């Protein structure tokens, strides 16, 4: 289990929000998903900062878990990096659309606030995530050759 946070039932989140996941994640156990989940932020960041950021964007934990899964199964290509980040953005929007109604004017402040958080998260991973994507691929390659 991840040292980052208590075990989370990501399969329930994925089903509730109808999140997009890779085929490998569909077949993964909740424990395997939790082992990939490091919260919001890069591995090089101190745990306390990831905990703080994760608390601010906890609404998106399901989308973050899918994104962490994609990163931990990186193939090192730019195409799949872009696809993983696009899936992250779509999943965050799915969560917002599930929780808030565009037909209810009183939901607009929450929609705008959550879309702003989602956009910020997306821009961070899109602009700063390439090194982590390649590092994950290299780690996977080393693990596969060691076996």
DSSP assignment of the chain = --SSSS---HHHHHHHHT----HHHHTS-HHHHHHH---SS-TTS-HHHHHHHHHHTGGGHHHHHHHHHHHHT----HHHHHHHHHHHHHHHHHHHHHH--TT-GGGHHHHHHHHHHHHHHHHHHHHH-HHHHHHHHHHHHHHHHH-
What pTM, to 2 d.p., does this model score?
0.90
Higher-confidence residue of 94 and 6: namely 94
Mind listing the pLDDT tens digit for each residue in 52-111? 888 889 999 999 999 999 999 999 999 999 999 999 999 999 999 999 999 999 999 999
Spatial distance between the Cα atoms of 39 and 53, rounded to a whole number of angstroms? 8
> Is 60 exceeded by the pLDDT of residue 126?
yes
Task: Read off the tokens for 77.
Answer: 């290509």
Give residue limits of the domains in the chain: 10-146
The DSSP H or E segment spanning 37 is none
Q: Detail the DSSP E strand segments found in 63-113.
A: none
Query: Could you tell me how far CA 93 lies from the centroid of its own chain?
Result: 12
Under the banding of pLDDT at 50, 70 and 90, the label for residue 3 is very low
pLDDT attached to residue 6: 59
pLDDT attached to residue 37: 86
Burial of 91 (0-12, 13-18, 19+ CB in 10 A): buried
> Is 50 exceeded by the pLDDT of residue 1?
no
Mind listing the pLDDT tens digit for each residue in 17-62? 999 999 999 999 888 998 888 878 877 788 888 888 888 899 999 9
pLDDT attached to residue 18: 96
pLDDT attached to residue 110: 96
Spatial distance between the Cα atoms of 120 and 99, rounded to a whole number of angstroms? 19
Task: Read off the tokens for 54.
Answer: 């994760």
């Amino acid at each position: 289990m991840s040292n980052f946070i208590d075990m989370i039932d990501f399969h329930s989140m994925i089903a509730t929000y109808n999140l997009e996941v890779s085929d490998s994640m569909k077949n993964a156990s909740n424990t395997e998903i939790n082992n990939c989940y490091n919260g919001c932020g890069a591995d090089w960041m101190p745990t306390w900062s990831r905990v703080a950021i994760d608390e601010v964007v906890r609404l998106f934990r399901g989308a973050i878990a899918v994104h962490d899964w994609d990163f931990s199964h990186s193939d090192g290509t730019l195409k799949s990096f872009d696809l993983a980040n696009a899936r992250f953005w779509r999943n965050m929007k799915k969560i917002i659309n599930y929780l808030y109604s565009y037909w209810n004017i009183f939901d607009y402040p929450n929609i705008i606030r959550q879309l702003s958080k989602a956009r910020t998260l997306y821009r961070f991973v899109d602009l700063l995530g390439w090194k982590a994507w390649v590092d994950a691929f290299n780690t996977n390659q080393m693990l596969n050759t060691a076996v």
